[in-house]
Amino acid sequence: MTVSPVRTELHGHVLVVTIDRYRRRNAVDRATADGLDAAFNRVDDDPDIRCAVLTGADGVFSAGSDLTAGGDYVTERGGEYGLVRRHRTTPLIAAVEGLALGGGLELALACDMVVAARDARFGLPEVTIGLVPTCGALFRGPRALPHNVARELVLTGDPIPAQRAHELGLVNRLTEPGEALAGALALAERVCRNAPVAVRECLAATQRAIGPDDEGWAATDRAAATVRASDDAAEGVRAFLEKRPPVWTGR
């Protein structure tokens, strides 16, 4: 029997969704995307679930896309990773331990709130292998962080610590290492004490206030298409998989 890389556990009115591919640092492949899609379909479709928490197993949130999976992460209802293009009505909290890198940070940015352990790190290393973030970071990053900090993450590829992310507003609450899930559950349970209809409508109103994502996705698609056609993109991925420094040509 194949074991699913995504686990779910119901805590009262809160569904905890856990990515469990710790040998791959919880990177997302096809099976993981399908598992996340199924979990969040359940969140969307079950009115008894009033809040959800997304986390990763074994002290790592997610290292993003599994580059050996060939870019096959898109689902019908959720888009990439089963989540990042989903039109949600139920609050979602990220519980971050360890690394949230690349698509891992983009998963966190797709959530409504973030609880992180003090030793967690957030980063977008795509440029270091000749790629661009394609799952929302290019426009959700500048929404969640000061624009110059979002540019720093995107253009350097260097991660920032959870403390700095908290000071800048990306992280709602900091916990001690190993306590992010407990902190996220406490926040989710606080949300669940409120009237469900009011919570749903407040979430929808705040999402409308941010504005539609259409322009952000269009700009991301243009950047990704240009980069995918470059020699540097092929070299960057090849060097990453071969565990050697890339040799850039600027073409």
76, 126, 167, 179: which one is catalytic?
126
Question: Does 189 qualify as catalytic in the annotation?
Answer: no
> Which residues is 19 bridged to in the sheet?
6, 56
What is the spatial distance between Cα 81 and Cα 32, in angstroms, rounded to a whole number?
Answer: 7
Strands, DSSP E only, in 64-199?
74-75, 79-80, 92-96, 99-101, 113-117, 121-123, 160-161, 173-175
Contact 79, 37 (CB under 8 A): no
Q: 99-101 and 121-123 as β-strands: parallel, antiparallel, unpaired?
A: parallel
Question: Does 152 qualify as catalytic in the annotation?
Answer: no
Distance, C-alpha 51 to centroid of its chain: 17
Contact 110, 37 (CB under 8 A): no
9, 76, 97, 106: which one is catalytic?
106
**What's the length of the chain?**
251
What is the spatial distance between Cα 184 and Cα 173, in angstroms, rounded to a whole number?
Answer: 8
Q: Which of 51, 101, 107 is nearest to 78 (CA)?
A: 107
Q: Residue 225: which H helix or E strand, with range?
A: helix 214-228
Q: Which of 101, 35, 96, 16 is nearest to 66 (CA)?
A: 101
Residue 198, judged by CB atoms within 10 A of its CB (0-12, 13-18, 19+), counts as exposed
Where in the sequence numbering do the catalytic residues fall?
Answer: 106, 126
